[in-house]
Amino acid sequence: MLSLDELVAIRRDFHQHPELAGEEKRSQKVLLEWLERLGIEAKPLAGTGVVGLIRGAADGPCIMLRADMDALPVTDEKDVEYRSRQAGCMHACGHDAHMAILLGAASALVDAPPSAGSVKLVFQPAEEQGAGAKAMIESGVLEDPKVDVAIALHVWSPMPAGRAVARPGSIMASVDSFSMRVRGRSTHAARPEEGCDPIPVAAGIITAAQTLVSRKVAPYERAVLSFTSIHAGTAFNVIPETVEMKGTIRAQKSSVRKMLTEHLGQQAQHLAASMEASMELSWSERLPVLENDADLIKLARDQAGALELSDMEPLMVGEDFALFAERIPAAMLILGAGPKDPEKIIPHHHPRFDIDESVLPQGARWLADCAQVYLQG
């Protein structure tokens, strides 16, 4: 397997040359070169993605190992020589580490190839936009050979290095983002009776929506509804025609997700109608709940080696790996990569985000062992 020094060098190279979602051209080139050097057949897929294949001597099932590739529009504020060389672009979520870890796992699997079946190495672009997994699936990444199960790993800075989580059931939330337009009738601010002011209507919709999670969702379930943007009007003396709002709903169960998305629309519709306004609602980003398969999680827990397995509350963020998990049994493993001292934790997506690089070989070994054991049946 690639050594700690080699994995650190690979990670730092990606860290210095981050690329935003959909623009991962250099990362793609570097990955293809590495896979070629390791003697692994590989090709570009879905624009800037990469897929490699390690075949065993005999036929058998196929396990997919997935890393994401994209960075974030954040300017790196770390004072280290490997900081991002690109202003306004930074690996602030650890996807640089994911690429290095998957190359490490690939090198371990080349050293000890599976006797049967195959391992598909999937480097997926554009995770942060929730677009990459969809594009990879549409480009046929789950076919030829047909993928039976998938495992991904996310480094996690709020958890110290040396610890990990492999949790059955939901691990990350569904993501639904909405745009809502409340339409009234514009008029002079001093003559409201001649129009229909959409601003109090929007205020009523926002206030009423606060009761959806608190009154419609059972207290033992997890869900969140946030309005994150509101815009209306241009002048102090004009009642505007419309109010535009944006927001998001997250849930840990598809039934809760369905109920909340339906109720938000119905409630807003009724409120607007009761005040003689109208309401249009449209949904954009949509990801299902990420559900970990119990059998795969058991396998991963058995292969955790020296990692100390901990528990963790499921996260309310989303991950587009959920689109793979919706189609085949899958597991998202969490690898602690943060400092021991909780005061020193820097969260993901922060301009000074970094990881403890000693976790790179741990992650690589964990993924490779999971694939080996799965293929041994």
Show the tokens assigned to 61: 């099932």
State which residue, 132 or 198, has the beta carbon closest to Zn ion. Answer: 132
Q: How far is the CB of 329 from Zn ion (least distance, A)?
A: 22
Torsion region of 22: left, alpha or beta (phi above 0 gives left; psi -120 to 50 gives alpha):
left
3-state DSSP percent of the chain in helix, strand and coil, to 5: 35, 30, 35
- Which lies closer to Zn ion via its Cβ, residue 93 or residue 277? 93
- List strand residue ranges (DSSP E) for the chain, in order: 41-45, 49-55, 58-68, 116-124, 149-160, 163-165, 169-172, 174-183, 187-188, 223-232, 238-239, 242-251, 278-287, 290-292, 308-309, 330-338
For Zn ion, give the closer residue by CB, 248 or 372.
248
155 or 271, CB closer to Zn ion?
A: 155
Q: How far apart are the first and last CA of the chain?
A: 23
Strand locations in 91-148 (E): 116-124
Decide whether 108 or 355 has the Cβ nearer to Zn ion: 355
Question: Please, what's the b/e burial string for 335-370 (b: 16 or more CB within 10 A of its CB; e: otherwise)?
Answer: bbbbbeeeeeebebebeebbbbbebbbbbbbbbbbb
Nearer to Zn ion (CB atom), residue 50 or residue 299: 50
Site map for Zn ion, 39-78, x if CB under 5 A? ----------------------------------------
What is the nearest approach in angstroms of Zn ion to the Cβ of residue 128? 5
Minimum separation from the CB atom of position 68 to Zn ion (A): 6
Residue from 53, 62, 71, 93 that binds Zn ion (CB under 5 A)? 93
Other Cβ atoms within 10 Å of 377 Cβ, number: 8
Tokens for 233, please give them.
Answer: 């009007």
Residue nearest to Zn ion (CB): 93
When asked if residue 2 is in the footprint of Zn ion (CB under 5 A), the reply is no
Could you tell me the smallest distance in angstroms from the CB atom of residue 35 to Zn ion?
22
Neighbour tally for 333: CB within 10 Å: 26
Stretch that binds Zn ion, among 57-65, 73-81, 87-95, 334-342 (CB under 5 A): 87-95
In the window 242-271, what residues touch Zn ion (CB under 5 A)? none
Task: Give strand pairing partners of 163.
Answer: 308
7 vs 93, which CB is nearer to Zn ion? 93
Min dist. Cβ of residue 280 to Zn ion (A): 30
DSSP 214: I
- Using CB under 5 A as the criterion, which residues of the chain lie in contact with Zn ion when the complex forms? 93
